[in-house]
Chains A and B, each alone.
Chain A
Amino acid sequence: MQPRDMMQTVHPGHLRWRKWKNRLFAGVIFGLALLAVLPLLLILAYVVFRGAPGVSLRFFTSLPAPTGIPGGMANAIVGSIVMVLMATAMSAPVGVTIGLFLAETHHARWQNMVRFVCDVLSGTPTIVIGLLVYAMVVAPSGGFSGFSGSVALAILMLPTIARSSEQVFRLVPVTLREAGHALGGTRTQVWLRILLPTARAGVITGLLLAVSRALGETAPLMFTAFGNQFWSNNVTQPTAALPLQVFTYALSPYDDWHQSAWTGALTLVAIALIINLFARWVSRTRR
């Protein structure tokens, strides 16, 4: 087709109309996107607005105190971090292995079943997971414990880790696997020496997203970790967690506890934000 013919068939006014339509459409999309992030921005702003006045060194370094006496959430922050680390230690190896099974083997029926279970699990209300762990771990072991809390969090994280690592493994080009096999690598060697290192950044990103979700969960900890007003230096004992502490304080009738609840919420949001930024950084620096 010659450009000259185009000039004759396409009316100049038409191009102007098309450009205008294009701009209008781009504007609508931008507006809708803004509308979608607005609630998030509002929540963030409000949590900062209410939580910031309570931020102090004491909040991060001292134990909860009775109303009227200034206190902090140090034990809850440490408790949350310890439980989430333990949960990750349990969930990550299992979840990544499930991801490997889903992406790399050819057992269609088993894979569909595992995928279905993962999807059901990630749709299960978290309080149900808490109850399950209560029945399976807390009751037999004779009491609430930080360990049972991290088991509940581990179960909660499992489907996210499994499905995200499956996706990441699928993104590794077949040609790399074939190159590994062509060098005389066994399947295990190809998985461990080629697939995992190549997919590492994506797997870590998935882990971090699961971690940031687990950090904020309250319901699964209610019948497991239970919460504690003191330091719990033993994971077989009830353990404080930031979301539980926020929950307890928010329900209390005291103004100073309400302030602490907001500051605790701000701390949770800040940790989640930091983890998410870190996840983005990881996925950007590698590959």
Chain B
Amino acid sequence: MLSIEIKVEALHAWYGNDEVLHGIDLAIEPRSVTAIIGPSGCGKSTFIRCLNRLHETNPGARVAGHVWVGGEDVYRMDPIDVRRTIGMVFQRPNPFPTMSIFDNVALGLKFAGVKDRRRLRARVEESLAMAALWDEVKDRLHQPAMSLSGGQQQRLCIARALAVEPRVLLMDEPTSALDPISTMRIEELVQNLKQTYTIVIVTHNMQQAARIADQTAFFLDGHLIEVGPTSKVFTKPDDKRTEDYVSGRFG
């Protein structure tokens, strides 16, 4: 039997009175990459923000349904623990502008109460190495994070998320603000990281989904229309709407 890392059941989400997710069911295997695709406004961001309970930080936002990660019911855990278990990378690189490269990566550990300088330093180095950034920044750890290029800043944000040792990494269109070379480096990185982490990546770019995802889920108007192995979703989808979308007929 296949093991399940993330299980989502009958997930609904609202902003005020607007229901934007209408009952999503999805299962994700450990150490796999799942791509979430679909036209703008179909609820991709909202969906992954429900997984780490960031959705509920919006005033007036509400969630119903179940999410389990590693067998634990996310909505019965403390949200702080949930977010330590599930890291997130955002659409635009958003390093903390007043902090150095080192402090950006160390902040999550400091939040968790880690004070030992040697441990901090070791974990910062490991995280930067996992994010394929260590060689570029090892001589300038105490320079401002904003001195990095856009692509480096995004890898810094990945390192920052990995530093707290999550099981799952959520990425919301992480390359949409980046140039093609930086995009390629992040895609390679995702391929390496999936040996350790379970990755859910929202993408606007269908070639990207085809290149990196094991499983692809197609969302439309707050419904999960189809989910399956990436090659199947792109070549022989079951649903007509999926076929129209992946063949570029709308979206």
Contact of B88 with A by CB under 8 A: yes
Contact of B66 with A by CB under 8 A: no
For this complex, 18 residue pairs linking A to B, each with C-beta atoms less than 8 Å apart, are A175-B92, A175-B94, A176-B96, A178-B57, A178-B94, A179-B90, A179-B157, A180-B107, A180-B111, A181-B83, A183-B108, A184-B81, A184-B111, A185-B108, A189-B111, A194-B107, A197-B96, A198-B98
Interface residues of A in 162-208 (CB under 8 A from B): 173, 175-176, 178-186, 189, 193-194, 197-198, 200
Contact of A4 with B by CB under 8 A: no
Name the contact of B59 in the complex, choosing from A106, A173, A287 (C-beta under 8 A). A106
Nearest CB in chain A: distance from B200 CB, A: 13
Contact of B52 with A by CB under 8 A: yes
Q: Contact flags (1/0) for A226-251 with B, using CB distance below 8 Å?
A: 00000000000000000000000000
Report the Cα distance A106→B56, complex, angstroms. Answer: 13
Q: Which residues of A contact B90 (CB under 8 A)?
A: 175, 178-179, 182
Which of A180, A181, A186 is the most central at the interface, judged by chain B CB atoms within 10 Å of its CB? A181
6 further A-B pairs in the complex, CB-CB below 8 A; given A179-B88, A179-B94, A179-B96: A178-B90, A182-B52, A182-B88, A183-B107, A193-B107, A193-B111
Smallest Cβ-Cβ distance to B88: which chain A residue:
A182
Contact of B43 with A by CB under 8 A: no
Q: Which residues of B contact A286 (CB under 8 A)?
A: 98
Name the contact of B98 in the complex, choosing from A181, A182, A184, A200 (C-beta under 8 A). A200
Q: Is the CB of B112 within 8 A of A184?
A: yes
Q: Is the CB of B98 within 8 A of A197?
A: yes
Q: Contact flags (1/0) for B87-106 with A, using CB distance below 8 Å?
A: 11010101011110000000
Q: Is the CB of A182 within 8 A of B54?
A: yes
Q: Which residues does A use to contact B, with CB under 8 Å?
A: 106, 173, 175-176, 178-186, 189, 193-194, 197-198, 200, 286-287
Q: Is the CB of A193 within 8 A of B110?
A: yes
Nearest CB in chain B: distance from A14 CB, A: 42
Name the contact of A181 in the complex, choosing from B57, B59, B96 (C-beta under 8 A). B57
Q: A106-B59, A193-B110 are in contact. Are A184 and B80 (CB under 8 A)?
A: yes
Q: Is the CB of A198 within 8 A of B96?
A: yes
Q: A182-B161, A183-B108, A183-B164 are in contact. Are A287 and B54 (CB under 8 A)?
A: no
Q: Which residues of A contact B111 (CB under 8 A)?
A: 180, 183-186, 189, 193
Q: Which residues of A contact B80 (CB under 8 A)?
A: 184-186
Q: Which residues of A contact B108 (CB under 8 A)?
A: 183-185
Contact of B155 with A by CB under 8 A: no
Q: Which residues does B use to contact A, with CB under 8 Å?
A: 52, 54, 57, 59, 80-81, 83-84, 87-88, 90, 92, 94, 96-99, 107-108, 110-112, 157, 160-161, 164
Top 9 closest pairs, chain A to chain B, by CB:
A183-B108, A184-B84, A182-B88, A175-B94, A197-B98, A185-B111, A184-B83, A106-B59, A179-B94
Q: Is the CB of B96 within 8 A of A178?
A: no
Q: Which residues of A contact B92 (CB under 8 A)?
A: 175
Nearest CB in chain B: distance from A199 CB, A: 9
Q: Is the CB of B57 within 8 A of A183?
A: no
Q: Which residues of A contact B57 (CB under 8 A)?
A: 178, 181
Q: Which residues of A contact B96 (CB under 8 A)?
A: 176, 179-180, 194, 197-198
Q: Which residues of B contact A178 (CB under 8 A)?
A: 54, 57, 90, 94
Q: Which residues of A contact B84 (CB under 8 A)?
A: 183-184
Smallest Cβ-Cβ distance to A177: which chain B residue:
B57
Report the Cα distance A180→B87, complex, angstroms. Answer: 11
Q: Which residues of A contact B54 (CB under 8 A)?
A: 178, 181-182
Smallest Cβ-Cβ distance to A199: which chain B residue:
B98
Q: A106-B59, A193-B107 are in contact. Are A182 and B97 (CB under 8 A)?
A: no
Nearest CB in chain A: distance from B44 CB, A: 16
Smallest Cβ-Cβ distance to A105: which chain B residue:
B59
Q: Which residues of A contact B110 (CB under 8 A)?
A: 193
Report the Cα distance A197→B100, complex, angstroms. Answer: 12
Smallest Cβ-Cβ distance to B163: which chain A residue:
A183
Q: Is the CB of B97 within 8 A of A287?
A: yes
Report the Cα distance A123→B88, complex, angstroms. Answer: 46
